[in-house]
Structure 1
Amino acid sequence: MSTYDKYQTPLSSRYASKEMSELFSLRNRYSTWRKLWLNLAIAEKELGITAISQDAIDQMKSHIDISDEEIEAATKQEAIVRHDVMSHVHVFGETCPAAAGIIHLGATSCFVTDNADLIFLRDGFDILIPKLVNVIDRLSDFAIKYKDMPVLGWTHFQPAQLTTVGKRATLWIQELLWDLRNIVRARNDLGLRGVKGTTGTQGSFLALFHGQHDKVEALDDRVVELLGFDYAYPVTGQTYSRKIDVDVLAPLASLGVSAHKFATDIRLLANLKEIEEPFESTQIGSSAMAYKRNPMRSERVCSLSRHLQSLFQDATSTASIQWFERTLDDSAIRRVSLPSAFLTADIVLSTLLNIVSGLVVYPKVIERRISAELPFMATENIIMAMVEKGGDRQECHEKIRVLSHQAAAVVKQQGGDNDLIDRVKKDAYFEPVHAHLETLLNPSTFVGRAPQQTEKFVKVTVAKALSGLEHHINKKEESKLAV
């Protein structure tokens, strides 16, 4: 049967990076199981289990990377024994005959399945963190570049006071910084299940070492050390607590929230023609409407971010219904949700990096929109300037209110331009401030401390958050977007 005759998840076949797809591949999973069996044997031999020969260790080391033929053999064996771990114990033993009798010695299936999953979660975070760092870095460069450019603010998607293009970007960055904090924390909190036995009591290993508790503890510590972790969870049932999966998927779901918000803003800005995502010279926006420049990257981010957020519920539901030391209804869903979460987060970050590396700003459109709304916003400045020239505040307020309503009628009822300032210029009452109108309407005077906030945020807050992660920054790197 051709691969084209089978369903393939687009997460791996279409979108995800090579490194993330390989991390959750069958080959890496089964090779990691072998690495776990090897390190268990090494530790057991070091602690005095004489049944484990050096020849056994050497053979296992030589066959850590599982071959296609071995995967196929294990698949056939699993069809017979209906147990994935034992089918691989059988095949690994055939490949390493000197080790056949000691592979998986004292262990339960979760020694390989759960410890392997924890390794994948750690390594998955290590793939995501550099990508998130680069997204933040690129957006920070964008914020600094446009920190002084006034732009119309929006509340309720209605015109509001001015901000700057750069200041708006800091709102996106701040949420991503929280995601970075949460992801790094979740990554660093991960431990191993370690060597705990069938129900977590280490009873099998206590028997293996003839009641020597210190050797059982040393075995646990040594396996953790060999696998490059700082610690093992002190107590477990047959599995590591599935609440760990909650802690892992929570920051990824939260990343999905931030990504969706950012991409939605870009989609709205594209409609306003103020800012657009990159659009390649040969890219087709629509099969029928040749002029279209659809924000397909941002739409992809929104689409997959919703999926990423939904996967968190798999973790919470699964963790909440585990019975006592374990129940197997966690197995199938975790095979789906854990890889899906990391593959999806990987795609979201790769697409975000592509977007923020090529955002296009249209200053003239931004200026035109400001000019259409600024006269209304400037009325308070005009009133205050008139009062300084000796005018009556209440009288001035009433006159400019009338002129504002007249100008609004031109815009809304006639489809014309905002002519409020022309009306002010033609009204003799406002003659004392006619010479000052250009200054009173300077957009840069309406943005408050937005430029200063932006610069301080990037130079202080972002710099502090990325401290120790600077080695991940690659100014030349741009995500290669999948079709």
Structure 2
Amino acid sequence: MALTALSAISPIDGRYRSKVEALGNYFSEEALIKYRVLVEIEYFIALCELPLPQLESVSDGVFEDLRAIYKNFTPVDAAAIKEIEKVTNHDVKAVEYFIKEKFDALGLSDHKEFIHFGLTSQDINNTAIPLSIKEAMNDVYVPEYLTLLKKIEELAEEWKDVPMLARTHGQPASPTRLGKEIDVFVVRLKEQFNLLNDVPSAAKFGGATGNFNAHKVAYPNIDWKAFGTSFVQEKLGLQHSFPTTQIEHYDHMAALFDALKRINTIIIDLDRDIWTYVSMDYFKQKIKKGEVGSSAMPHKVNPIDFENSEGNLGIANAIFEHLAAKLPISRLQRDLTDSTVLRNAGVPFGHTIIGFKSTLKGLGKLLLNAAKFEQDLENNWAVVAEAIQTILRREGYPNPYEALKGLTRTNEAITKTSISEFIDTLEVSDTIKSELKAISPSNYTGI
């Protein structure tokens, strides 16, 4: 069966492909191969610039020709490397042989044994993958996140003066403002994004067991640790992890995935709150001609965007959690479990982007039902009891909490009239009574 959007097993490569297509440039098999080629080429150039004695004759004029190998990388090149892999049964070695063929074409045959010189495959994987994740974050994730954050900020500002009955434990509570409740999510997201920005993109680079053994035995007078740090940090823009075993210890990558998970959790919390407000009729939803909300009930307009987001972000978090828990653990100097797990690094990013887009779409369809907000406030005059008893405490009135408790904890409806009548019974000045009567559910919203 040919792979198409209809035959793909994963929905991010099938049903949702159009939403996450940009991630293919960073997390596909072809992308991984391209990033490996990039690291191998830049490493060879760095050896020339050191220079190693055997590479002093390599002119820097050929460097751009070398960089063109990865800059102009095509699906045909990727397919060629996969063909080589069928023989080598080793993906990184296949990349090395591919580049050697390119060296022959560039007249660099005498120098091709310095491709992958002294390295293990993990020096390539543990730089290529962090680099791909870093660039995916900058090019895809951050723009999507900022677009969603901007929309949430706009709604917080638009609704900042809309009084709303709050609910704690599902019960009516001290009134708030809709914009403030949305702004809670804005602040939470910004704080977690700041923490996310503090996580370095770390990479391992140090030979078979992390000690530059092969490098040092061949060229004992070169400071290979300094070279490795310079290469990783100045050439690739990553943080050099040292010392390591054969593989990156992945602690920083785990921190990144945990941070992404927390941001997703905040969006899930927003999704559920908005879903609930829709169910309470606080929001209507814009209707798109031709859309169907239910196969059986013609009247339904479901909050499906928030449900879709919640589901996708939940899947993303489950995978992020596994990656964060599994990757930092490796037997002795290495086992291979990180390799197969890392091939799934793009999957939670895919579900995250789908979730972000769904939440954004859902927020764009909301129509404020002002009448319902006003109705709920008017039907819950009991919530001003807190305000009344607090002012009475200020005035030294005896047992104010108990007095209000007796008024409000009955089965009779508390209304503006009953509150006013209660205030009239209080032994306080007319000035205080006027102050108390000025309080209503719609203006008792704090700061």
SS at match of 2:412: helix
2:134 aligned with 1:122, yes or no?
yes
- 2:314 counterpart (306, 322, 341): 306
Q: How does 1:83-482 map to 2 (within 5 A)?
A: 83-97=90-104, 98=108, 100-126=112-138, 127-186=140-199, 189-194=200-205, 196-208=206-218, 210-214=219-223, 217-218=226-227, 220-229=229-238, 231-275=239-283, 279-319=287-327, 321-336=329-344, 338-374=345-381, 376-378=382-384, 397=403, 401=407, 405=410, 407-408=412-413, 420-421=415-416, 440=438, 442-449=440-447
SS at match of 1:192: strand
- The aligned amino acid for 1:270 is V
- The aligned amino acid for 1:198 is A
Distance (Å, rounded) in 1 between the aligned partners of 2:127 and 2:391: 71
Distance (Å, rounded) in 1 between the aligned partners of 2:388 and 2:252: 60
- The aligned amino acid for 1:124 is A
Distance (Å, rounded) in 2 between the aligned partners of 1:263 and 1:422: 38
Distance (Å, rounded) in 1 between the aligned partners of 2:204 and 2:422: 80
Q: CA separation of 1:281/1:212 partners in 2, compared to 1, >3 Å: closer, same or farther?
A: farther
Q: Identity over aligned residues, as a percent? A: 18
1:383 CA drift (Å): 8.4
Distance (Å, rounded) in 2 between the aligned partners of 1:70 and 1:399: 77
8 Å CA contact 1:198, 1:238 repeated in 2: yes
Partner of 1:3: 3
8 Å CA contact 1:27, 1:66 repeated in 2: no
SS at match of 1:160: strand
SS at match of 1:42: helix
2:36 aligned with 1:33, yes or no?
yes
Count of equivalent residues: 427
SS at match of 2:198: helix
Alignment RMSD:
3.5
Distance (Å, rounded) in 2 between the aligned partners of 1:114 and 1:427: 72
Q: CA separation of 1:286/1:393 partners in 2, compared to 1, >3 Å: closer, same or farther?
A: same
Moved more, 74-83 or 145-154: 74-83
- The aligned amino acid for 2:28 is S
- The aligned amino acid for 1:146 is W
1:101 CA drift (Å): 3.5
Superposed CA offset, 1:61-82 (max 9, x none): 2321333333223223323322
Distance (Å, rounded) in 2 between the aligned partners of 1:23 and 1:306: 22
Unaligned 5+ residue runs, structure 2? none
1:84 CA drift (Å): 0.9
Unaligned 5+ residue runs, structure 1? 409-417, 450-483
Superposed CA offset, 1:427-481 (max 9, x none): 9987999x979954633431122xxxxxxxxxxxxxxxxxxxxxxxxxxxxxxxx
Q: CA separation of 1:430/1:280 partners in 2, compared to 1, >3 Å: closer, same or farther?
A: farther
Q: CA separation of 1:430/1:19 partners in 2, compared to 1, >3 Å: closer, same or farther?
A: same
1:124 CA drift (Å): 2.5
8 Å CA contact 2:258, 2:320 repeated in 1: yes
8 Å CA contact 2:254, 2:327 repeated in 1: yes
* Structure with bigger RCO (C-alpha 8 Å, 6+ apart): 1
1:406 CA drift (Å): 5.6
Moved more, 246-255 or 68-77: 68-77
Q: CA separation of 1:373/1:63 partners in 2, compared to 1, >3 Å: closer, same or farther?
A: same
8 Å CA contact 1:274, 1:363 repeated in 2: yes
Q: Which has the higher helix share?
A: 1
8 Å CA contact 1:286, 1:292 repeated in 2: yes
TM normalised by structure 2 equals 0.83
8 Å CA contact 1:39, 1:226 repeated in 2: yes
1:249 CA drift (Å): 0.8
